[in-house]
Amino acid sequence: MTNTNDGQHHSILQRIAHRAMLERGLVPDFPLQAIAELDEIHGPATRTGGSTRDLRNLLWCSIDNDDSRDLDQLTVAEALPNGAAKIFVAIADVDVIVKKQSALDHHAQQNTSSVYTAAGIFPMLPEKLSTDFTSLNYGSDRLAIVVEIVLTGDGSIQSSSINGATVRNRAKLAYNSVALWLEGNGPIPQEIETVKGLAENLRLQDRLAQKLKTLRHLHGALDLETVEARPVFDGDKLKALEAEKKNRAKEIIEDFMIAANGVTARYLAAKKFPSLRRVVRTPKRWDRIMELAAERGVVLPKGPDAKALEQFLVSAKAADPLRFPDLSLSVIKLLGPGEYAVQLSGDSAFGHFGLAVKDYTHSTAPNRRYPDLITQRLLKAAMAGGSLPYENDELAALAKHCTEKEDAVKKVERQVTKSAAAMLLESRIGEQFDAIVTGASNKGTWVRLLHPPIEGRLESGFEGMDVGHGLRVQLVSTNVERGFIDFKRVS
């Protein structure tokens, strides 16, 4: 068994992550051909002739995690007469450097996304690109695909357009500090204060995001709120897993990106191009969702109904905001995973049950997610009136591949998080905790502790337990190498 008392937590987790990727059919290191290709790239792509618009004068900013260096999107907004407004989303033009069927593209296609583990990031594209040449970095001129969306006073989309442009990031901002300021709980970040007009623009972006969110929820988008655990290190020693929650700054990005992804999907459809859609068709276990609602005195329809589910979630959040993330996690597990599917021209759209949107693709993170790079190539071909970069059969195979690899990536990320959690808990065997059931099948029953937010297997006392049930558990054993944490139920 791994001895983690020597403080070498980070190194141990990196080794575990590397092994976990190989076991799941992912490639943790860049092949020699990709590195050789990278050596021939000497700087970011620049504008050629009049092929793109110059939008560097706009108050573009990025909002991301504190430690993010791969910046895929910038946002800015503009007030229009009669309460209308325009939002701009700039998406890094990655395809301009990473060409289809290049060695770099082959590696990106193999993993299909960056892998974010407690041990660090295994990027889909080399950092020379993803954090520099194809990243929308502060103070740098970069080529981008810009989605412009005109909103009416209530947040409805009136019109939209997509163009190539040169942009410049005026401020690199972080979710938590921006959220504290927007919510009135902290000072204005210095990066905002030093850019004239940016504070006012961000408040406008915040108001527009809330309008977009409200409108989506009126159509049945689900108000889900989960707790994500982020590792906190002191040098090489793991100190804690801290809970990350939604906030107003994250909602700006989330709602602007959902809007941009919808515009992209409809643009491709209008151009008679196929698209790679992100879909959640219908909930996997609506019967259990009905039971969760009934336990709280709410009767849901017998068939899947997004609006009714959203009304239940809103009332549940108001009644018990502290436990709402646990209910959200249960509902997410019961809805089942999303998948990628090809939307051919003229076919009716599958839709995304959880977002209550009919047209939805992944387009806003091409540095870190391969489906977004595929979409970017389709989009650029449609904009230029060119031929299809992918045949329909090729797209269908890629959709299946991306779904499978996304599942592998999530399993690796989860395993390394569990290894980190096992490190934190290995000295607490025998202690008891409050928990909630997060998974129940013939493969086993899983629970998540309420504090710290750590998940493990319920090895005894699982009879009659189902997703969403609360219980008291005792920690029985941990295995850092395999990421195993075992509990037993106590009365």
What pLDDT score was predicted for residue 49? 56
In a domain, 49, yes or no: yes
Task: Share the mean pLDDT of the chain.
Answer: 88
In a domain, 146, yes or no: yes
Which residue range forms the structural domain that includes residue 81?
Answer: 9-280+339-420
The whole model's pTM is what? 0.86
In a domain, 187, yes or no: yes
* Structural contact between residues 330 and 446, judged by C-beta atoms closer than 8 angstroms: no
What pLDDT score was predicted for residue 280? 73
In a domain, 166, yes or no: yes
What pLDDT score was predicted for residue 359? 65
What pLDDT score was predicted for residue 348? 61
What pLDDT score was predicted for residue 6? 53
In a domain, 2, yes or no: no
* Structural contact between residues 27 and 110, judged by C-beta atoms closer than 8 angstroms: yes
In a domain, 299, yes or no: no
Q: Residue range 394-415: average pLDDT? A: 94
In a domain, 290, yes or no: no
Highest mean pLDDT, choosing among 196-205, 302-311, 328-337, 386-395: 196-205
Instruction: Report the percent of the chain where pLDDT is more than 90.
Output: 60
- Whether residue 449 is predicted with pLDDT greater than 80 in this model: the reply is yes
pLDDT tens-digit series, residues 330-373 = 787 787 778 888 988 766 655 555 554 556 688 999 999 999 99
Split into its structural domains, the chain has a count of: 1
What pLDDT score was predicted for residue 428? 92
pLDDT tens-digit series, residues 412-448 = 998 998 899 999 899 999 999 999 888 887 788 989 8
In a domain, 458, yes or no: no
What pLDDT score was predicted for residue 252? 96
Highest mean pLDDT, choosing among 175-189, 358-372, 461-475: 175-189
If one compares 5 and 341, the residue with the highest pLDDT of the two is 341
Q: Beta partners for 230?
A: 242
What pLDDT score was predicted for residue 353? 57
**Per-residue pLDDT band at 3 (split at 50, 70, 90):** low
- Whether residue 480 is predicted with pLDDT greater than 80 in this model: the reply is yes
Query: Residues of 253-287 as b/e, b for ≥16 C-beta within 10 angstroms?
Result: bebbbbbbbbbbbbbbbeeebbbbbbbbeebebbe
pLDDT tens-digit series, residues 271-309 = 999 999 887 767 778 888 898 889 888 898 888 887 788
